[in-house]
Amino acid sequence: MTIEQQRPVPPRTVRTRRIAFTYPSGSLDRHYVQGDLMMSHIVAMLSALFPEGEDFFIRAVRRYREELTDKELLSQVAGFIGQEVTHGREHRALNDKLQEMGYPTRMADRFTNLLMIRSDRLFPHKFQLAVTAALEHYTATIAERLLTSPEAQALLGETEVRSVLLWHALEESEHKSVAFDVFRAAGGSERLRINTMHLVNALFIPIVVGLTAISLAGDRAAYNPVRLLRSLRRLPRSPFLNRSMRQNIQAYNKPGFHPDDMDATALLEKWKVELFGTEGTLADHLR
C-alpha cells in the first residue's frame, strides 16, 4: 500500500555535498563566539544535539520512503538523508574539538541519544515524523536568520565554526520542506502537526537552557560575576532572539502553514555562490 501526496511537490534542489572541515590545534579560542561567554556555550550545546538529532530525523523520514509515490519528493528525501548524514558526521568532529576545549558535548550527546532512542521505542512513527517536521522548522528558521543577518554572522568571527554553521544553515534551508511534505504525504493531520509543535516548544528551549547551564557550571569564567552578567545582558539583544524570529517560529502553528510560505529562493542562490561558487569561501572544503 502506498501513501499519496495531497498535491505535487515542487522541484527543489536538495544536494548532498561531499565536504570536510578541520580544526588545527589552537585554531579556536576558548570562547570562540566573539569572546561571548553565553553564546559560546549555547552554540556548543546546540552542536552537541545535532548528531543524534539528525539520526532521529533520518529514521523518521526513511520509514516512509518506500511508500512514497511522488518522484520529486523521493528525490528530495534522498538528498535530505545525504545532507543529514553529513551534518551528523561534521558536527561530531566539531563536538570532539569542543570537548577538548572544555565543553561537555559528550554528555549532551549521550543525553540526546537516550532521549531519541526512548522516543523511537515509545511513540508512534507518525508522531516521530511530526516532531521531525517541527524541529526542522526550528533549524530552518535559525539557519535563515544566520544567512540574512550580518550581525548574526559577525558573532561567529572568521573561524572554522563559522564555516560549519554557514554550510549547515544553507542545507537546512534547502531541505526545510522535505520532512513536512513526507508528513503530509503520510496523512499527518493539521491537529497532530500543530499539537506536536506546542510540545516541541515546551521542551526544546528548556532542554537547551538546561544543557547550557550544565556547560557553564564547568567553566571557570562563568564564576566571574561581571563577565557573566555582561553576557546575560547581551543575550536578549541577540539576533536569534528578536521578535521576528519568534514570529517565524510561531507561524508554524497557523492552519495551512507550509515551510515554503517563507520563500528563501534568492537567499539560497546568493549563498550557494558565496560558499561554493568558483570563488566561494568553502569551495576548497569540497571533496
Q: Determine contact, residues 138/204, Cβ cutoff 8 Å.
A: yes
Residue of 100, 93, 85 lying closest to 53 (CA atoms): 85
Rg (the chain; Cα; Å): 19
Report how far residue 239's alpha carbon sits from residue 208's, in angstroms, rounded to the nearest whole number: 17
Report how far residue 91's alpha carbon sits from residue 59's, in angstroms, rounded to the nearest whole number: 18
Could you list the pLDDT tens digit for every one of the 287 residues in the chain? Answer: 344 445 678 788 899 999 999 998 877 899 999 899 999 999 999 999 999 999 999 999 999 999 999 999 999 999 999 999 999 999 999 999 999 999 999 999 999 999 998 888 899 999 999 999 999 999 999 999 999 999 999 988 889 999 999 999 999 999 999 999 999 999 999 999 999 999 999 999 999 999 999 999 999 999 999 999 999 999 988 888 888 889 999 999 999 999 999 999 999 999 999 999 999 999 999 98
Report how far residue 86's alpha carbon sits from residue 168's, in angstroms, rounded to the nearest whole number: 9
pTM of the full structure: 0.93
Three cell numbers written together for 83: 545532507
Q: Determine contact, residues 164/94, Cβ cutoff 8 Å.
A: yes
Q: Determine contact, residues 219/119, Cβ cutoff 8 Å.
A: no
Three cell numbers written together for 283: 569551495
Residue boundaries of the structural domains of the chain: 37-285
β-sheet bridge partners, residue 3: 68
Q: How far apart are the first and last CA of the chain?
A: 40
User: Quick one: which H or E segment has residue 271?
Assistant: helix 265-276
Residue type at 59?
A: R
Question: What does DSSP assign to residue 213?
Answer: H
Q: Determine contact, residues 79/6, Cβ cutoff 8 Å.
A: no
Q: How far is CA 60 from the centre of its chain?
A: 16
Other beta carbons less than 10 A from residue 19's beta carbon: 18
